[in-house]
Amino acid sequence: MQGIRTLGLAGLIASAPAIALEQGEYRFNGFGSAGLTYLGGEDEGRGYGINGQTTDSWRGDQLSKLGAQFQYGLTDTLGATVQATAKAEQDTWKANLEWAYLSWAATDGLTLRAGRLRLPVYMYSETLDVGFTHPWVRLPDEVYSQVQLSNYEGGDLLYSLPVGIGSLAFQVAGGQAVNRNLFTLDDLYDIDYKKVFAANVTLETNDFGALRVGYAEADIDADITTSVIVPSGVPASVGFKQLDRQKAKFTSIGYQYDNGTWITSNEWTSNNSEADQEGSIDAFYLMGGRRIGDVLLHVTYAQLDEDNGRQSSWTYGLNYNLAPTLILKGEYKRVDTRGNGYRGTFVESAQETFDHASFVASNGAAGIPPRNYDGDIISVGLDFVF
């Protein structure tokens, strides 16, 4: 039962909005991860992942981060919460204000919040940076690389009530997130999310785990334009994608179960844009594991499908609870892509992408043939809370 007991402190971070403090009380919690990851089997310098930080060199910026959360009771029903992190964005470390909001416990089951909040897109959105609450060293890339926005400015409503088999929780959120960074084509670009709306419902049972269904949408503005070398050998500015209030929609279904011995975590997502002719992006992962004393053995299959290809992976992991607040984790992940030059979550530069498109458009007269990627990813890390 070590796995259940060690979640106590992490649970305070995960359920911070639902825990009201009395006037003058405060709570401080910290969390972090220290890890290394390595990509084998691909080109020298090839990047992989949400910020391209997994390469053929052992690097710690993909997995390592440090965070702290502070809560203060302004009155018996009104509280303030701030959460900050230090982590890498592409190749630069930076401090981030993840949460900064006021919460009002209107009734025993109803809480209203306003300020900077986590965007509730995924099943693990509330604890996206708290690796201690995840069974993996790294969350499944096929699902968690799709929406890079983690927080927004606005408000939400949380409502929970007991039911015969457990509890039912609802969340409705709205706001915007402007001047954010989008990592694509091996670089960062400005992106704005307007008219953000999200809603989800979670049924947490006493004996059968938790089921979550969520939906989110936003109007997106972005201009992904950069300079490349065209076939004539001169530089030119090329617009790869322009988004002008393009509505994007994201649907997710998740299920978790953990009885202290057996554990499973599963999530399916569908991501599509109304003005995009490329169709929806569908992804899922299925994870199962078993605890033997302080050891957790687990395996995960994940899949990402787009119109032009598929990425799939198998992840095998071993976790060891060194202490109630410290977990040592190790993983091996095999990733494969297939399709017409489909890259999946491997990183291509703008020049590579342009050369591949030129080859297809010219029937091979110019550019470079598109290709698929595959690789073996090894990750080790320590997750902790305090």
The CATH classification number of 2-385 equals 2.40.160.10
> What is the spatial distance between Cα 140 and Cα 332, in angstroms, rounded to a whole number?
12
Q: What is the pLDDT of residue 2?
A: 34
Do the beta carbons of residue 103 and residue 112 sit within 8 Å? yes
Q: What is the pLDDT of residue 294?
A: 97
Q: What is the pLDDT of residue 7?
A: 42
Q: Which residues pair with 315 in a beta bridge?
A: 300, 333
- State the sign of the Cα–Cα–Cα–Cα dihedral 329, 334, 338, 344: positive
Q: What is the pLDDT of residue 6?
A: 37
User: Could you tell me where the beta strands, DSSP code E, fall in 106-258?
Assistant: 110-118, 151-163, 166-184, 187-205, 210-229, 235-258
> What is the spatial distance between Cα 213 and Cα 153, in angstroms, rounded to a whole number?
23
Q: What is the pLDDT of residue 136?
A: 98
* Residue type at 254 in one-letter notation: G
Closest CA to 374 of 48, 34, 93, 71: 48
Closest CA to 167 of 203, 113, 208, 118: 203
Grouped pLDDT means (10 residues each) for the chain, 386 residues: 40 56 93 97 88 92 95 95 93 92 95 97 95 96 94 97 96 97 92 97 97 97 94 91 92 97 98 74 98 98 95 98 97 96 94 93 91 96 97
* Residue type at 300 in one-letter notation: T
Closest CA to 35 of 123, 136, 122, 127: 136
Distance of CA 228 to the CA centre of its chain: 30
SS3 5: helix
Residue spans of the domains in the chain: they are 2-385
